[in-house]
Amino acid sequence: MSVPVLSVLNLRVEFPTRRGSLTAVDGVSFDIMPGEVLGLVGESGAGKSVTGAAVIGLLDPPGRLAGGEVRLAGERIDRLRGEAMRRLRGKHIGMVFQDPMTSLNPLMRIGDQLVETISAHLDMSGDAARERARVLLSEVGIPAPDLRIDDYPHQFSGGMRQRVVLALALAAEPRLIIADEPTTALDVSVQAQIIALLKRLCAQHGVAVLLITHDMGVIAETADRVAVMYAGRIVEIGPLRAVLAQPLHPYTQGLIGAIPTLDSELDRLVQIPGSMPRLTNMPPGCAFHPRCPRVLAPCRTERPPQIDVARSTAACWLYREQAVAP
Amino acid sequence: MSAAPLVTVENLGRSFDVSRPWLNRVIEREKRRLLVAAAGVTFTIGRKQTFALVGESGSGKTTVARMMVGLIAPTTGDVVIDGVSMTARGQDAERRRLRRRIHMIFQNPYASLNPRWRARDIVAEPIRAFGLAGSRGDVDTEVSKLLRLVGLDPGDSGKYPHEFSGGQRQRIAIARALASRPDFIVCDEPTSALDVSVQAQTLNLMRDLQDRFGLTYLLISHNLAVVRHMASRVGVMYLGRLVEIADVREIFRAPRHPYTRMLLEAVPDLALSGRPRKPIAGEPPNPIDPPTGCAFHPRCPHATDRCRREAPPLTTLPSVMVACHGVTEGRI
């Protein structure tokens, strides 16, 4: 088996406050193989974006990495600081955020922004870099790239800007792209275009993708594997089809049942009572137990381990029989 | 559907003047520029029904919603609710009485609640404004009742909006909308700022309340699955015009307008049925400079010369109203 592009082990992120530190991400582990799209899904406050930021060393202070390992192609990167981390990020990790203007400089022509990235990381300059920029723009589906290469970001529509960001993310031939809600700000018809483009380009370039989103629809269209986060922990991780069709964890089951679909004739949607606990008020045991319809005795006191069930893994006491004795 | 519809919208239109200042126009010999946000919008909503308006951003859904509750005045056409016109002169007294019976729920529960007011004052405002309860004690009882109705703890009524989660805030907004005992509620993207599990709670609540109080809803949404779940009739808008109106089953079973089909195509497939998906070309055009003829023709796979020249009118066919030359000519 080849080495995962990204390997995260027992990641823990804390935010120190006056009343003690809050754990936003607690023991999160996952691998992403080359060319694979891992969807990280969860509701607001589940810790998915913080996980993404922690992986690339972009945690906003006072948040800090309190434990665990992050490896890029086998090498520890969680201890890198400052310039070393910045160079590694620029070269090996591309980023796509919800708002394309987070990534684009409004005062620079998009061609110059691409050329800057390419010549900083690829040992290419002048005409060669500009030619690569033009090829990238046509790859992401910008019509007439020869003309548009000298336009400023404001001259593009929202969907086109997100395409430019995708070109920028791919410019330095990264191994990994972290896409945090890349389609949330776009209209539905444009959303479908960007999703298809992201998937196609990453497959062509053999780039691994960590796709962070709240939208199960986007996950269904794009991901190979899915990790479901709840209250800072991964509650279930497995192949897309398994997680969507036979979800194991009661939270995943509730989450999928809550989504209205086009062919449902149901009068009522499945409803998870209550809401996600606050970080200041985390229940003991399994964080989901106060809302869980199938709660058992150990759920209230003991945190469930990750248990392998079929091809997936779930952190849920329902499957304790399947747990292999140590 | 009962005989007389509760809401009748007739040829409703609104344009916004986006011209440059007068001096620039004179010097540079520019004409006035108008943005037509909505034009020729016509539909009716039966009592206790939910009519959904769907479309992408810039299609004019919210402009229509705002005209329906009187937040902006229409440039053309009229909205008639239970026999009372929102624009005609001489009906001021009736219109004032009508105000109590219409309410609106906004998209963003972070912006629609005054952050300096406690939950109880937010919910009590319509009760006080319309003089629906006598004493202070009556108002408090009514507020507690409303909060319990939407699934909040009346004990929290002294809290400020920032102390509630997004879903709870939307519940406060719903409680406020119900406070004046309305018949008709305009819901503008009521759940698009909410997480799916909270969305499910909110949609279920809206349906329960509709059954219980016989409410009529106008639901504005870009999410077709939500529309499928909530609506009895659906109108699809594109660039300020209605392109298709049909019953909810009909529109999802057999969409007629190419744009409606395109929107349905774009809905992600959660069942992983392997439903074939056609790539969708293009983006919505700029409403300041709309295409000639049918506004959808630059993105339409069936467009002909006639579509480029002539705007299609909304035509009534059996079980559907549709504005498309291709459909009326029998090509699609």
CA distances from B71 to A88, A119, B85, B241 (A): 53, 53, 14, 20
Q: Is A157's CB within 8 Å of B265's CB?
A: no
Q: What is the pLDDT of residue B1?
A: 44
Q: How far apart are CA B176 and CA B113, in angstroms?
A: 10
For chain A of 326 residues, list the mean pLDDT of each consecutive stretch of 10. 87 90 92 93 89 89 89 89 86 89 92 92 88 92 89 89 92 92 82 85 89 90 93 94 92 90 76 84 90 91 90 90 61
Average pLDDT for residues B128-143, to the nearest whole number?
A: 88
Question: Does any CB of chain A come closer than 8 Å to the CB of residue B273?
Answer: no
Tokens at residue B328, please?
């009326």
Q: How far apart are CA B109 and CA B106, in angstroms?
A: 7
User: Which residues does B42 contact at the CB level (< 8 Å), separation at least 6?
Assistant: B9, B10, B11, B12, B77, B242, B314
3-state secondary structure labels for all residues of B194-263: CCHHHHHHHHHHHHHHHHHHCCEEEEEECCHHHHHHHCCEEEEEECCEEEEEEEHHHHHHCCCCHHHHHH
Tokens at residue B154, please?
């009346």
Mean pLDDT (chain B, rounded): 89
Q: What is the pLDDT of residue B182?
A: 93
Q: Is A193's CB within 8 Å of B279's CB?
A: yes
Q: Which helix (H) or strand (E) holds A275?
A: none
Provide the percentage of residues in chain B whose pLDDT is more than 90.
Answer: 54
3-state secondary structure labels for all residues of A168-196: HHHCCCCCEEEEECCCCCCCHHHHHHHHH
**Does B283 have pLDDT greater than 80?**
no
**Stated pTM of the model:** 0.85
The residue in chain B having the minimum alpha-carbon distance to the alpha carbon of residue A260 is B225
Q: Is B268's CB within 8 Å of A193's CB?
A: no
For B203-262, the pLDDT digits (tens) are 999 999 999 999 999 999 988 889 999 999 999 999 999 999 999 999 999 999 999 998
Q: How confident is the model at residue B18 (pLDDT cuts 50, 70, 90)?
A: confident
- Who among A191, A241, A266 is closest to B266 (CB)? A191
Q: What is the pLDDT of residue B244?
A: 95
Q: How confident is the model at residue B273 (pLDDT cuts 50, 70, 90)?
A: low
CB A171 within 8 A of CB A113: no
Burial class (CB in 10 A: 0-12, 13-18, 19+), B125: middle
Question: Does any CB of chain A come closer than 8 Å to the CB of residue B204?
Answer: yes
SS3 assignment, position B119: helix
Q: What is the pLDDT of residue A190?
A: 81
Q: How far apart are CA A62 and CA B224, in angstroms?
A: 40
Lowest mean pLDDT segment, chosen from A213-217, B5-9, B44-48: A213-217
Q: List beta partners, residue A239.
A: A225
Chain A residues with at least one Cβ partner in B under 8 Å: 43-44, 157, 159-160, 187-193, 195-196, 214-218, 220-221, 240-241, 244-245, 254-264, 266-272, 275
Q: What is the DSSP letter of A278?
A: P
Residue A238's CB is within 10 A of a number of other CB atoms, namely 24
Within 8 A of A249 by CB-CB distance, chain B residues are: none
Q: What is the pLDDT of residue B207?
A: 92
Q: What is the ipTM of this complex?
A: 0.79
Query: In angstroms, what separates the C-alpha of A241 from chain B's closest C-alpha?
Result: 7
Q: What is the pLDDT of residue A326?
A: 44
Question: Does any CB of chain A come closer than 8 Å to the CB of residue B278?
Answer: no
Within 119-178 of B, beta carbons closer than 8 Å to A belong to 165-168
Q: How far apart are CA B323 and CA B251, in angstroms?
A: 14
First to last CA, chain B: 30
Domains contained in chain B, CATH given: 46-76+90-101+182-286 (3.40.50.300)
**Does B97 have pLDDT greater than 80?**
yes
Burial class (CB in 10 A: 0-12, 13-18, 19+), B161: buried
For B183-207, the pLDDT digits (tens) are 999 999 998 888 888 889 889 999 9
